[in-house]
Amino acid sequence: MSEHILQTKNLSYSYPDGTTALDDINVNIKRGQTTAILGGNGAGKTTLFLNLNGVLKPSSGNVIYGGKSIEYSKKGLTALRQAVGLVFQDPDHQLFSASVYQDVSFGPMNLRLSEEIVRKRVEESLIKTGIYDLKDKPTHCLSFGQKKRVAIAGVLAMEPEVLVLDEPTAGLDPKGVGEIMRLLKEMQQDLGFSIIIATHDVDIVPLYCDYAYVLDEGKVAMEGSPNEVFSKAELLRNLHLRLPRIAHLMEILRKNDDFEIGNFASTISQARKEIKRWRENLRLVNK
Amino acid sequence: MINIDTFAYNSKLKDRDPMEKLLFTFVTLSVCLWANSIIISLTVLLIMTWSTIYGGGIPRTVYFKLLLIPMVFLIFGVLAVAIEITPQPYEFLGSISFFNFYLGVSKAGLITATQLFFRALGAVSCLYYLSLNTPMIDVMSALRKLRCPKLLVEMMSLIYRFIFIFITTAETMIIAQSSRLGYSRFMSGYRSLSLLISSIFIRSYQQADKIYTSLESRGYDGELNVLEKSKGYISTGYLKVLGINVFLVILTFII
Ligand SMILES: Nc1ncnc2c1ncn2[C@@H]1O[C@H](COP(=O)(O)OP(=O)(O)OP(=O)(O)O)[C@@H](O)[C@H]1O
Ligand SMILES: [Mg+2]
């Protein structure tokens, strides 16, 4: 078992109309971790995800799952799609049935599981995503956030090894963002899958992610732990992104207001720790 | 159509076995058409109205408003049957002469017309019973159980889902257009409408493409295999269907 569950090697992809959406991408996704794919609009995040799931076939380069290059045969693709579950950006592009229950059952049914097992999985993922009470409602009567949960439940029911989510928090209210992210992290702890999320919402990255890639015009522009990536503010701004609010505040405090804060902080708890430490230092100096 | 849909999801009969409701609708409908008697038609109308309003809890005003919709067509259709044009005044209850023709109503014609009117109304009430009390999803699952061709049911379910996506899209686009005064004058309204229609067409194409991609990523292989929610239905309802219809048939023979 290799350390990386999913990798791409020199992956390039051009759309039939000639747009080069991905250009020589090398990404390594560690088992059991949460990886963020950052990038502005049109950077290539969605295209990358479609390649990871085998919906699009690379123009050149490879997608490697569990140490092996994926096969684009029917059998290979079925295996890949079970292992790598993709939740789409817009739930209306994913939910095809007017019935929540039917939609969630679609994925596991395609895995040719017995009816009993499918029912069990459907019920479980409806409960885990907190939408069990909605199972009798028609899809078109749900709110956006609820549809998003149904979309996630539909992929969870396939019990993937890697859960790939395209903008899971876009269009959600602040409470919804927290809920969805916590939900994902809890499920990750229970089930041990790896998560990849595409997002422009930089604030969630230091909170929930272990590693981050920044894409720009189809290339990997930066990579590293969230703090490594966010410590390069200038570079990030050139890539249509910004710092997390807290990191920005800390940057201003350090640069403009002469706070001598040593370590980089991009979440509330990190910042709190750093500021407390700074205060202790100040007290010691004053004594 | 949208309203009927929301009523169906809120009906008190929503959780009844859809097969039973389907059977009740179509067996009663057939008996109503076959009997061709005013009394039977009225009985059917009564039973169905009662089942929908008291059984399903559909607001009375809504139900009668809905019943008014086919009434317009019915009245015109029935008038065409009732009124005859002949060169001679022939057994007419009343008539007007008109150059060399007589426009009139005969007793037989009047009876046929009344029979037709109530028969159609009875049939409509049967269909309203089904559509106001049965969510579309359930109708489709019943059709599936009845071994309706798979492709047909799949198409129905996709179309049903898409209708709502497009209505929402169209609504948002119309609002966006009107907020930029797209419909303020006749000519600009005309142009906005044509833009709306063409962009809905393009959107539907893209939407279909996107849905296909996402289906593929979940392992779609040409068949939309899904599971229905399992509900423990009780089968006493079938007895009711049988009972009511046997009663109607016997009533037809008595009168
Ligand atoms: N079906 C398509 N045909 C042609 N070009 C496409 C197609 N889909 C995307 N592109 C192009 O590929 C590039 C990458 O698009 P992609 O959708 O992967 O971006 P993204 O990072 O997901 O952006 P966003 O944050 O807006 O979702 C863009 O330049 C886009 O215009
Ligand atoms: Mg995208």
SS (H, E, C) A133-192: HHCCCEHHHCCHHHHHHHHHHHHHCCCCCEEEEECCCCCCCHHHHHHHHHHHHHHHHHHC
- Say if CB A77 and CB B216 are below 8 A apart: no
Nearest CA-CA distance, residue A3 and chain B, Å:
25
pLDDT score, position B1: 45
CA B33 – ligand 1 centroid, Å: 57
Which positions of chain A have pLDDT values less than 50?
A: none
Domains in chain B: boundaries: 1-147+229-255, 149-224
Q: How confident is the model at residue B199 (pLDDT cuts 50, 70, 90)?
A: confident
Chain B residue closest in CA terms to A55: B217
Q: Per residue in B158-184, pLDDT tens?
A: 888 888 888 888 888 888 888 887 777
Question: What average pLDDT does chain B have?
Answer: 85
pLDDT score, position B125: 93
pLDDT score, position A6: 92
| Number of residues that this document lists for chain A | 287
Nearest CA-CA distance, residue A207 and chain B, Å:
29
Residues of A near B (Cβ–Cβ under 8 Å) read: 50, 53-55, 74, 78, 81-82, 85-86, 88, 90, 92-99, 101-103, 105-107, 109-111, 115, 118-119, 122, 135-141, 154-155, 158
pLDDT score, position B124: 92
Find the mean pLDDT for residues B98-127. 85
- Check pocket membership of A46 for ligand 1, CB cut-off 6 A: yes
Rg of chain A on CA atoms, in Å: 21
Whole-model pTM: value is: 0.83
Helix A115-128 to helix A100-110 angle, to the nearest 10 degrees?
A: 130
pLDDT score, position A15: 93
Q: Per residue in B113-170, pLDDT tens?
A: 888 999 999 999 999 999 999 888 888 888 888 888 988 998 888 888 888 888 888 8
CA B254 – ligand 2 centroid, Å: 70
pLDDT score, position A135: 84
CA A285 – ligand 1 centroid, Å: 55
Block residue for tokens 């991609």: B213
pLDDT score, position A256: 83
Atom of ligand 1 nearest to the CA of A200: 25
Q: Per residue in B4-57, pLDDT tens?
A: 788 888 888 888 888 889 989 999 999 999 988 889 999 999 999 999 999 888
As to burial, measured by CB atoms within 10 angstroms (0-12 exposed, 13-18 middle, 19+ buried), residue A28 is: middle
- Check pocket membership of A19 for ligand 1, CB cut-off 6 A: yes
| B176 token code pair | 């966006």
pLDDT score, position B89: 67
In this complex, do B165 and A158 lie within 8 Å of one another by their Cβ atoms?
A: no
Atom of ligand 1 nearest to the CA of A215: 21
- Say if CB A222 and CB A48 are below 8 A apart: no
Is the predicted pLDDT of residue B2 greater than 60, yes or no? no
Across-strand partners of A77? Answer: none
DSSP string, chain B: -HHHHHHHHH-TTTTS-HHHHHHHHHHHHHHHHHH--HHHHHHHHHHHHHIIIIIS---HHHHHHHHHHHHHHHHHHHHHHHEEEESS--SEEEEEEETTEEEEEEHHHHHHHHHHHHHHHHHHHHHHHHHHHS-HHHHHHHHHHTT--HHHHHHHHHHHHHHHHHHHHHHHHHHHHHHTTTTSSHHHHHHHHHHHHHHHHHHHHHHHHHHHHHHHHTT--SS----PPP----THHHHHHHHHHHHHHHHHHH-
In this complex, do A138 and B9 lie within 8 Å of one another by their Cβ atoms?
A: yes
First to last CA, chain A: 56
